[in-house]
A and B are shown apart, each in its own frame.
Chain A
């Protein structure tokens, strides 16, 4: 037969980790539970007979005692007065924050350039290409070479044509030059 109370409360009772109300409840339980009575008495007997300092403790050699006392007796590296700034956790948090800020900034910068170059190329290409085309068309009109220019498929080509052919370059910050002569 087994009683869960021993594991749940009996061990805590012996190690004085129960509050007053829990102690009273457990003591009441023990009075009516033979399993807990046996467990408790066996444990207390073992503690007294076997689990004590003479059996469980060991003494290190005097040489190591002297070595440790000499090494550790000086002032600890940081005292309580140093506060939070001396703690290892503060330093770790500081380093993590710096990496987080730089990482986020770099991420945002490259993401924006990427979007400028690829996700919305048509907008940039449109503005640049349409401006160039307009000037080209004006020149063609004024130079009476409209006919020749019409033959050129450049005007009929959609703007996406440029977008598909152009490769984004982050260093241009989204400004894409289109050489219409080649087209």
Chain B
């Protein structure tokens, strides 16, 4: 466990270096941060919206918003948590304004899990991805948000509670239920306990 904590601290230091370069106008700064986290943020956005094109637009919005608000970034905070906070807000704004919640429920599987840019991914991972996506679709939206923020974004629960504007116990309760429901779905597909 100490190794994981040490790794997280090292990652945070590297993020700070990239962030400083970015603020100085060095291209390596932004591309370093972007290449490090784009897949996680995009994975979160795709699963939240259920549409790759919309997720790409939101990905662009997220990083542009990060650029505009770079001066508000608290250096004590994890960059990944901050960028996921922005991505979450963009997603909520998107649903609020466009009101396509029903569509994204129905269309999730047409685009998620295609893995267009990961041709070397093996079949078992693709299969698991499909089952996970199916399981995620069965979740309550709030449970799905907590699960994705935690598992894709590695955002601490304390910050998830801040991002979702709820008490930490609510976030923990949603996570517990999300895990329970996902496990149930995976079991139904004969995946749990592999």
- Chain A residues within 8 Å of B, Cβ to Cβ: 6-8, 11-12, 15-17, 42-43, 45-47, 49-51, 53-62, 64-65, 67-69, 71-80, 82, 86-88
Contacts and interface: CB of A to CB of B under 8 A. Distances in A.
B70 A77 contact: yes
A72 B116 contact: no
B46 to A, nearest CB: 5
Nearest to B59: A60
Highest count of chain B CB atoms <10 Å: which of A16, A43, A54, A77: A54
B101 interface: no
A68 B118 CA distance: 20
Given A11-B175, A17-B156, A59 B117 contact: yes
A57 B42 contact: yes
B5 A11 contact: no
Contact of A75 (B23, B66, B158): B23
Given A59-B39, A75-B25, A16 B186 contact: no
Contacts of B117: 59-62
B129 to A, nearest CB: 5
Contact of B128 (A50, A74, A86): A50
Contacts of A59: 38-39, 42, 115-118
A176 to B, nearest CB: 55
Contact of B38 (A46, A49, A65): A65
B24 to A, nearest CB: 8
Q: Classify the interface of chain A: helix, strand, loop or mixed.
A: helix
Given A51-B151, A82-B71, 20 more contacts: A11-B157, A11-B172, A15-B156, A16-B4, A45-B193, A47-B151, A50-B128, A57-B39, A57-B152, A58-B55, A60-B56, A60-B59, A62-B117, A64-B60, A71-B63, A72-B64, A75-B25, A76-B22, A76-B68, A79-B23
Interface size grouping (class) on chain B: 35 or more
A56 B157 contact: no
Interface stretch (B26-34, B92-100, B137-145): B26-34
A68 B72 CA distance: 20
Contacts of A65: 34, 38
Given A54-B121, A74-B25, A69 B31 contact: yes
A98 B157 CA distance: 39
B1 A53 contact: no
The 6 closest A-B pairs by CB, nearest first: A76-B70, A59-B117, A57-B39, A75-B25, A57-B43, A78-B71
